[in-house]
Amino acid sequence: MKIAIPTNDGLTLSSTFGQARGFLILSVELGEIIQEEMRWNKLSDILCSPDGLLDPIKDCEVIMTKNVGPSMTKHIAAQNKEIILTGETFITNAYVHFLENRYRQEANTCCCP
């Protein structure tokens, strides 16, 4: 699985998805990061269309972000990508919480009647 994380510096999550300078791509297998790759956005692609912003992450299944607007959410959903919202600032913390299933809705609800 590939996880795309919008960032301006490779260490922290960008405060807004659409204004990120690029994406840190984490390739994950069995809970282990096997590869990290930084993909920078081209301004011309971003200004072209919302799909231009998504082009660098077309091979990713998951997008972990702090904030994404409703219009971009529709574009992301149309490409069958899962959006995980996080309040974390540091990418490392967000990834650890991802591994612990803290972002899964069913992981945060009680199954008792």
* Per-residue pLDDT tens digits for 12-58: 999 988 888 899 999 999 888 999 999 998 765 555 556 677 888 99
List, for residues 64-75, the tens digit of each pLDDT value: 999 999 988 998
C-alpha–C-alpha distance, residues 69 and 6, integer Å: 14
pLDDT value at 111 more than 50: no
Q: What pTM value is reported for the model?
A: 0.83
C-alpha–C-alpha distance, residues 112 and 110, integer Å: 5
C-alpha–C-alpha distance, residues 62 and 80, integer Å: 9
- Looking at the DSSP assignment, which residues form a beta bridge with residue 64? 84
Q: How far is CA 78 from CA 9, 50, 51, 53, in A?
A: 28, 12, 10, 14
Cα 109 to chain centroid distance, Å, stands at 23
pLDDT value at 60 more than 80: yes
The confidence band for 108, taking pLDDT boundaries of 50, 70 and 90, is: very low
C-alpha–C-alpha distance, residues 107 and 30, integer Å: 19
According to DSSP, residue 60 is labeled: -
- The residue written with tokens 């297998």 in the block is 29
